[in-house]
């Protein structure tokens, strides 16, 4: 099934949650609708209509305090807006501007068309100053998943720790459509480097 057909099939009159976005279809016009989850009960006239992809990109750039959002799946998307489209392609492009490659990754994962990359393979590939990241222990890796990923990101991790670990299979989406993390991002790699470096410096200071 094509990506756009998947999105079309996911969106019904009953709202579904994708990250912080509520997706639904208008029972009156049959248009595709998206709002921030905080605005689920707001009258649409009270929300700012985002009519171009650039407007949506601009929205996703900064949080409500004006701080830059380097990680687009951080739980800090501004509220107060509405996307309404009659065609699925225009709608998809706007959703993709909020969570780049988010829906495409989820569909690939659900179709088993892509293998999540084990964390250790990602770390082993690092070069330059990031090479140090490969020295993290399993405990530190779990710390990254708990403190960096689970607290600061809406993606659901599908990658295993190493080649020996089984890939986790997340359940079929219900009301919530997960944004799947198929490979550790630069934030997780940076954190791995920081933790490994800290442990190394501590060990050397003691010796
Ligand atoms: S590794 Fe994945 S889940 Fe963790 S912060 Fe990066 S994108 Fe989010």
Give domain status of residue 202, yes or no: yes
Report the CATH number at residue 14: 3.30.1360.190
Whether the per-residue pLDDT at 196 is higher than 80: the answer is yes
Give domain status of residue 106, yes or no: no
Does residue 187 have its Cβ closer than 6 Å to ligand 1? yes
Q: Residue 188 C-alpha to ligand 1 middle, in angstroms?
A: 6
In sequence order, the β-bridge partners of residue 24 are 33
Same domain, 55 and 119: no
Same domain, 63 and 10: yes
User: What value does the mean pLDDT of the chain take?
Assistant: 94
Q: What integer pLDDT is reported at residue 28 of this predicted model?
A: 93
pLDDT tens readout for residues 144-192: 999 999 999 999 999 999 998 877 777 778 899 999 999 999 999 999 9
Q: What integer pLDDT is reported at residue 207 of this predicted model?
A: 62
User: Based on the structure, what is the number of domains in the chain?
Assistant: 2
Rounded CA separation 14/163 (Å): 39
Q: What integer pLDDT is reported at residue 137 of this predicted model?
A: 95
Question: 206 falls in which pLDDT band (50, 70, 90)?
Answer: low
pTM: 0.92
pLDDT tens readout for residues 77-103: 999 999 999 999 999 999 999 999 999
Q: What integer pLDDT is reported at residue 52 of this predicted model?
A: 98
Domain end position, chosen among 70, 100, 130: 100
Q: Which domain holds residue 10?
A: 3-100
Does residue 122 have its Cβ closer than 6 Å to ligand 1? no
Ligand 1 atom nearest to CA at 152: 5
Same domain, 120 and 179: yes
Does residue 148 have its Cβ closer than 6 Å to ligand 1? yes
């Amino acid at each position: 099934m094509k990506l756009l057909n998947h999105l079309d099939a996911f969106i019904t009159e009953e709202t579904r949650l994708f990250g912080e976005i509520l997706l639904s279809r208008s029972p009156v016009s049959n248009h595709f609708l998206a709002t921030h989850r905080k605005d689920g009960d707001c009258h649409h006239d009270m929300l700012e209509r985002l009519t171009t992809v650039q407007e949506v990109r601009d929205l996703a750039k900064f949080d409500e305090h004006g701080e830059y959002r380097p990680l687009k799946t951080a739980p800090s998307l501004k509220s107060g807006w509405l996307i309404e489209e009659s065609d699925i392609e225009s709608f998809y492009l706007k959703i993709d501007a909020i969570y780049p490659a988010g829906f495409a990754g989820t569909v690939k994962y659900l179709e088993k068309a892509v293998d999540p990359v084990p964390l250790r393979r990602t770390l082993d590939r690092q070069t330059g100053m990031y090479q140090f990241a490969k020295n993290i222990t399993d405990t530190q890796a779990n710390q990254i998943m708990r403190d960096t990923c689970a607290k600061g990101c809406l993606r659901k991790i599908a990658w295993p720790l190493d080649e020996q670990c089984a890939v986790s299979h997340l359940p079929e989406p219900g009301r919530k459509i997960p944004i799947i993390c198929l490979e550790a991002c630069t934030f997780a790699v940076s954190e791995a480097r920081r933790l490994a470096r800290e442990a190394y410096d501590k060990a050397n200071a003691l010796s």
